[in-house]
Amino acid sequence: MEFHRTVRKPATVSVVPLIDILVTLLFFFIVTMKDYEKKKAKPEVQVSLPESGGLTVRTTKATRATLTLDRDGKAYLEGVLVVEGYLKEYLISNLKERPGLKLALRVDEACPHGKFIEALGAASEAGYGRDDIVLPVRKSSFVPPPTVPENP
């Protein structure tokens, strides 16, 4: 028995209705996004933030002067190199300028012990009491400022 085969047409998709739908969706999204941007600009919750005009700021003065002894035994008072033999005078003038100031003594581990004792003696002679001298127990991380060589 012989079967007849029917010839089928190739399947085609019409693009024109798809383009119409695409343009309609594009138009819809453009219109809704413009409306969304307008709504986004308005805050939904009104917040009133406090102003800083009523705040008071307290400043504190330094309560300690720092005397540093480096590994060579050189003394630095507040980062300024003290001339050898004049530590007591530096400490007296510092105490006169800033009365009630305590003295924090930072000493490098490699500093000669004699220089440390001299510094304690100079501080007590300058007028610092036993309670006015603070001795931190840690290695000094002080780096002396670079010195400028004098002209020969």
**Domain housing 126:** 64-134
The Cα 100–Cα 34 span in angstroms is: 69
In this predicted model, what pLDDT tens digit does every residue of 6-24 receive, in sequence order?
A: 888 888 888 999 999 999 9
- 105 domain residue, yes or no: yes
Q: What pLDDT does 23 receive?
A: 94
pTM: 0.49
- 25 domain residue, yes or no: no
- 85 domain residue, yes or no: yes
Contacts for 66 with CB less than 8 Å, ≥ 6 apart:
77, 78, 79, 103, 104, 106
In this predicted model, what pLDDT tens digit does every residue of 41-96 receive, in sequence order?
A: 555 777 787 776 666 666 656 577 888 888 888 889 888 888 888 888 888 888 88
For residues 81 and 41, the answer to whether their CB atoms sit within 8 Å is no
- 38 domain residue, yes or no: no
Q: Are strands 64-69 and 102-107 parallel, antiparallel or unpaired?
A: parallel
- 72 domain residue, yes or no: yes
Q: Taking all residues of the chain, what is their mean pLDDT, rounded to a whole number?
A: 79
- 122 domain residue, yes or no: yes
Element (H, E) at 151: none
Going by C-alpha positions, the residue among 16, 21, 111, 17 that lies closest to residue 71 is 111
Q: Looking at the predicted structure, is the pLDDT value of residue 110 above 90?
A: no
- 21 domain residue, yes or no: no
- Looking up residue 69, the CATH number of its domain turns out to be 3.30.420.270
- 90 domain residue, yes or no: yes
Q: What pLDDT does 39 receive?
A: 61
Number of domains in the chain: 1
